[in-house]
A and B are shown apart, each in its own frame.
Chain A
Amino acid sequence: MKPFDRHARRKLLSHTIAVLSGLTVIAVLYPLVSIIYEAFALGGGVLFQTRFFTAVPPNACSAISCQTVGIGPDIVGTLILIGIASGISVPVGVLAAIFASEYRAKGLGRAISFTADVLTGVPSIIMGAFIYGYFVIYYPTIAYSAYTGGLALSAIMTPIVVRTTEEGLRVVPNSVREAALALGITKWKATLRIVLVAALPAVATGVLLAVMRAAGEAAPLLFTALGSNLYPTGLGHPIGALPLLIYFFALSPYSNQVKVAWGATLFLLLLILIVNIVSRLMIHRMKVRMGGA
């Protein structure tokens, strides 16, 4: 075969694969783009109603003149639940990751690592069921509340925080630990104030990932936080959240509630997008300030 033919065939093959790859990218992006498009189309109008972010959700209403109102309580509810969940999962997760990574000689460290790995794959509804079975049933005073809802979300967040923190710690070169120890700094101080600080961008990214995940979960909240259409008056009572609202109202036969659901969907999407972008920028700045390590 003449060299020219071989060369031409190779080029053809190369171009074919490039085109196929491009097509698969389009195939992957299509669902995402179509979701955003649909959300804008169906929820966009609702979003710009003046009281959308502060008013309570509408009751079932079949009249033509039904008002579509707001999602205020659910925004607050989501924030509270995420707050509680983070307050549990971040310290617990980070400390567990530190133990697993820095005090590795004990087999317990490896057990923690493995457990966190497994738990990240557990469906979130099972987490909800777990919290239901342990807390909702046995502690009737807080049975359906922000507390149990927060617990359920933290059960989802903690394994993620553990895994990403551990990964972040592992990436910190050993020379840093040795340098700190050789200066006569105790191990725990070195770990917390030097090694962990060096891993901070990774930890922050991990927390961000966990928060994003938890913010969008409805299943675990179904039988823990339960949901509510009113502004929360205390943490011991059922509380609403955006994913729950979307779940309930999307299935509603009443068009005003469906519209609210779409509005909430769009809002949640945009919120996630914005928080993502802002956090990444902040983490990038953190990395730059640390010397582009």
Chain B
Amino acid sequence: MLSGDKIRTEHLTAYYGPKPAITDVTLGFAEHAVSAIIGPSGCGKSTLIRCLNRMHETVARTRVEGQVVLDGEDIYQLDPVRVRRRVGMVFQKPNPFVTMSIYNNVSAALRFNGRPSREETDRQVVRSLQQAALWDEVKDRIDAPAVSLSGGQQQRLCIARALAAEPEVLLMDEPCSALDPIATAKIEELIKKLKEEYTVIIVTHNMQQAARVADNTAFMYIGKLIEFGPTEELFERPKESLTEAYITGRFG
């Protein structure tokens, strides 16, 4: 664990009911870098990132042991609502608020968590949409319903919405798996730019995607962390034979 880690887990174990989905995971994510988590279905990668913003516990009968340390503080000792404002999340299937316009979606975090002025909100909305590379496409229809956008645009809208809350860390749970290749490529470009301002952690089942966007990659298998290191090293010269077997497609 480097002192340059923005957020890290310490011996993290998370349960659904009596069964642990992840076991004793200790993993650090560097600031202003993109870290990817790969592994076969059911390896626990989604559970892991849902523990990073305390979304895991919103499901009934879940339990967490261990710590998640953000800037030196264990997030499980803090108010979960505040934690979620600092650690944002984008989900697998784009989920804009269907009852709201584009503007209201992006400004949702601002409107519900405080009452900034109209000018401030406007400014934040424009900035977030620009960061999400969506501004040019929606600037003349910002009050249109969010559902009028295409799938790829909706996902970028969700990214803008998450960014508008000004998080420090952005979690992305397979953000491109519901999108076509062109939309995927746009979002991958976006992710590479986002790391200048945020710490990005992305779960993906697509190894080539991890190879394309991530600085560091972690491989998980059946709830355990098998290997973690710079992406190029992990893909060219993995240390664990299990890692090699997975990335060369021998299982999973």
Contacts and interface: CB of A to CB of B under 8 A. Distances in A.
Direct contact of A and B (CB under 8 A): yes
B111 to A, nearest CB: 9
B97 A176 contact: yes
B145 interface: yes
A230 interface: no
B117 interface: no
A87 B89 CA distance: 40
Contact of A184 (B81, B96, B99, B146): B81
B58 A178 contact: yes
Interface stretch (A148-156, A191-199, A270-278): A191-199
Contacts of A183: 84-85, 88, 108-109, 112-113, 161-162, 165
A290 B146 CA distance: 9
Contact of A291 (B99, B109, B158): B99
B4 to A, nearest CB: 25
B136 to A, nearest CB: 22
Contacts of B146: 291
A269 interface: no
Contact of A293 (B89, B93, B99, B161): B99
B98 A182 contact: no
B112 A193 contact: yes
A43 to B, nearest CB: 43
A198 B98 contact: yes
Contact of B95 (A105, A175, A184, A197): A175
A291 B53 contact: no
A197 B99 contact: yes
A290 B145 contact: yes
A184 B85 contact: yes
A26 interface: no
A179 interface: yes
A200 B100 CA distance: 13
Interface string B205-235: 0000000000000000000000000000000
A227 to B, nearest CB: 44
A293 B95 contact: no
A189 to B, nearest CB: 6
Q: Is the interface of A mostly helix, strand, loop or mixed?
A: helix
B15 interface: no
A104 B60 contact: yes
B97 A179 contact: yes
Interface in B118-172: 145-148, 158, 161-162, 165
Interface in B35-94: 53, 55, 58, 60-61, 81-86, 88-89, 91, 93
Nearest to A182: B89
Contacts of B148: 291
A4 to B, nearest CB: 49
B50 to A, nearest CB: 9
Best-buried of A173, A193, A200, A291 by chain B (most CB within 10 Å): A291
A181 interface: yes
Contacts of A289: 145
A280 B171 CA distance: 42
A178 B165 contact: no
Interface in A142-196: 173, 175-176, 178-186, 189-190, 193-194
A193 B104 CA distance: 12
B230 to A, nearest CB: 29
Contacts of A105: 60-61
A179 B100 CA distance: 13
Nearest to A181: B58
B147 A293 contact: yes
B82 A184 contact: yes
B98 A181 contact: no
A184 B55 contact: no
Given A184-B113, A185-B109, A291-B98, A175 B91 contact: yes
Given A175-B95, A178-B91, A291-B99, 13 more contacts: A105-B60, A173-B95, A176-B98, A178-B95, A182-B53, A182-B88, A183-B109, A183-B112, A183-B161, A185-B113, A290-B98, A290-B99, A291-B147
11 contacts: A173-B95, A175-B91, A181-B58, A182-B53, A182-B88, A182-B162, A184-B81, A185-B108, A185-B112, A186-B81, A194-B108
Closest 8 CB pairs of A and B: A184-B85, A291-B147, A175-B95, A184-B84, A182-B89, A291-B145, A183-B109, A293-B98
